[in-house]
């Protein structure tokens, strides 16, 4: 055998050894997972790597801390203090202020289709509680007079509700903030592969241990959790879904879901079953999934197409699926009941 051939074979052998070693190292990465019931939902955090155990514990603790700061029912929270001390300046924790400012930003950006001051309406309907009810029109009109993001006054370190009976409810954005906080914890602990699920708000960090993309299922809105109608290939990405199947009740044969239209005071009435937002920021995606659902297909699609690096998937009651322009290579429809609609339908 010539000297050149020996060198070539030796080089190939070394490369194979390095490749196999790398595969073994990846497959042997420590996996840590924990679950907790926080923010009125089941939270799952999974991480791989040497820093996984610390990262997962810190993540669960951080989500609980965020809940204690921003829950409307925790008596020591910033939101509770705001809601129960109208027209008074309340000192706010920096983390809460970040969420309040982002919430007000999206309220302005969506012309009120997202509104963090829907507490009076949310309480009135009681959807997700033991005793939901269809309120009288007069009660809804009264509650509408006690909503409006213009009544939320934010300063550097304090906030104030300028009208009595206005109530803050951050349920449409706080889980997104929590997910992005977990991302920071994972990065700090040098975790490169992680999966986070906050009741349907899904965040994946990096790729899977084997180097492939995460496969995130989009729930079939006609069925319960675990029923998948499409798969999204994801890496360093978040997927947040809002739909009429998440929390609802039925009365006299009519379904009433929890996504309240701030302009009418009733559950948003459009032809949508669900909207999924795909983005790098869970914080933004959370607010967008709610507001885009309220907007409906045509207005919502136009809005999404104006935002860089944010995509959306709409499912209508006819089981038609509409994808924003950047999603077409990432989504695979798995259920033949659903019909992918293609074309520039959002341009007009």
Tell me, what CATH number does 251's domain have? 3.10.520.10
Whether 150 and 95 share a structural domain = yes
Name the residue range of residue 45's domain: 32-65+172-341
What contacts 184, CB < 8 A, 6 or more positions away? none
Whether 297 and 331 share a structural domain = yes
Whether 97 and 225 share a structural domain = no
Confidence at 227, pLDDT banded by 50, 70, 90: confident
Residue keyed to tokens 């204690």: 68
- 79 found inside a domain: no
Residue keyed to tokens 């449409």: 172
pLDDT at 343 (0 to 100): 60
- 230 found inside a domain: yes
Residues 155-191 have pLDDT tens digits of 999 999 999 999 999 999 999 999 999 999 999 999 9
Annotated binding site: 172, 286, 290
Q: Is the pLDDT of residue 119 over 50?
A: yes
**Residue after which a domain boundary falls, among 127, 161, 195:** 161
Work out the mean pLDDT of the chain and round it to a whole number: 90
Confidence at 345, pLDDT banded by 50, 70, 90: low
**Residue after which a domain boundary falls, among 110, 126, 161:** 161
- In whole angstroms, give the CA distance from residue 67 to residue 319: 35
Q: How many CB atoms lie within 10 A of CB 262?
A: 23
Annotated binding site for Mg(2+): 172, 286, 290
In the chain, beta strands by DSSP E: 31-38, 41-48, 90-91, 152-154, 158-161, 193-198, 201-205, 214-219, 228-234, 237-243, 248-251, 254-257, 272-279, 310-316, 320-323, 331-333, 339-341
- 14 found inside a domain: no
Half-sphere exposure of 230 (CA within 13 A, CB side): 29
Contact 293, 261 (CB under 8 A): no
pLDDT at 96 (0 to 100): 98
Whether 155 and 233 share a structural domain = no
- 78 found inside a domain: no
Whether 126 and 246 share a structural domain = no
Whether 142 and 263 share a structural domain = no
Whether 37 and 103 share a structural domain = no
Confidence at 47, pLDDT banded by 50, 70, 90: very high
Residues 265-317 have pLDDT tens digits of 999 999 999 999 999 999 999 999 999 999 999 999 999 999 999 999 999 99
Whether 42 and 106 share a structural domain = no
User: What's the total number of domains in the chain?
Assistant: 2
Whether 100 and 245 share a structural domain = no
Tell me, what CATH number does 135's domain have? 1.10.3980.10
Lowest mean pLDDT among 25-34, 66-75, 85-94, 150-159: 25-34
The radius of gyration of the chain from alpha carbons, rounded to an integer in Å, stands at 23
Whether 156 and 176 share a structural domain = no
Residues 5-35 have pLDDT tens digits of 444 444 444 444 444 444 444 456 789 999 9
**Residue after which a domain boundary falls, among 161, 196, 223:** 161
| Predicted TM-score of the model (pTM) | 0.89
Positive or negative torsion for Cα 338, 340, 346, 348: negative
Q: Indicate the Cα dihedral angle 210, 214, 215, 221, nearest 10°.
A: 150
- 149 found inside a domain: yes
List C-alpha distances in Å: 249 to 124, 140, 186, 246: 14, 17, 38, 10
In 206-269, beta strands by DSSP E: 214-219, 228-234, 237-243, 248-251, 254-257
Confidence at 247, pLDDT banded by 50, 70, 90: confident
């Amino acid at each position: 055998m010539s000297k050149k051939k020996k060198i070539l074979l030796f080089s190939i052998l070394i490369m194979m050894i390095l490749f196999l070693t790398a595969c073994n190292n990846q497959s042997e990465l420590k996996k840590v997972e924990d679950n907790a019931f926080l923010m009125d939902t089941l939270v799952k955090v999974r991480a791989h790597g040497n820093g996984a155990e610390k990262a997962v514990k810190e993540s669960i603790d951080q989500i609980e801390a965020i809940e204690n700061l921003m829950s409307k029912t925790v008596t020591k929270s910033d939101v509770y203090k705001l809601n129960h001390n109208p027209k008074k300046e309340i000192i706010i924790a920096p983390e809460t202020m970040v969420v309040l400012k982002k919430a007000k930003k999206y309220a302005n950006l969506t012309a009120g289709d997202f509104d963090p001051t829907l507490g009076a309406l949310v309480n009135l309907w009681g959807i997700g509680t033991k005793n939901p009810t269809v309120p009288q029109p007069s009660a809804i009109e009264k509650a509408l007079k006690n909503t409006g993001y213009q009544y939320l006054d934010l300063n550097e370190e304090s906030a104030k509700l300028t009208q009595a009976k206005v109530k803050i409810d951050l349920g449409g954005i706080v889980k997104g903030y929590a997910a992005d906080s977990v991302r920071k914890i994972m990065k700090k602990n040098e975790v490169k592969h992680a999966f986070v699920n906050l009741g349907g708000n899904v965040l994946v960090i990096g790729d899977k241990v084997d180097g492939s993309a995460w496969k995130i299922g989009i729930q079939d809105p006609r069925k319960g959790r675990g029923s998948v109608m499409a798969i999204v290939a994801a890496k360093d990405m978040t997927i947040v879904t809002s739909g009429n199947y998440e929390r609802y009740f039925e009365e006299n044969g009519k379904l009433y879901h929890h996504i309240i239209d701030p302009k009418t005071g009733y559950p948003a009435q459009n032809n949508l079953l669900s909207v999924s937002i795909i983005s790098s920021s869970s914080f933004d995606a959370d607010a967008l999934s709610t507001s885009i659902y309220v907007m409906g297909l045509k207005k919502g699609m136009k809005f999404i197409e104006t935002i860089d690096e944010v995509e959306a998937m709409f499912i209508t009651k006819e089981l038609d699926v509409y994808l924003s322009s950047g999603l077409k290579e990432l989504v695979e429809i798995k259920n033949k009941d659903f019909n992918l609609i293609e074309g520039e339908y959002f341009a007009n």
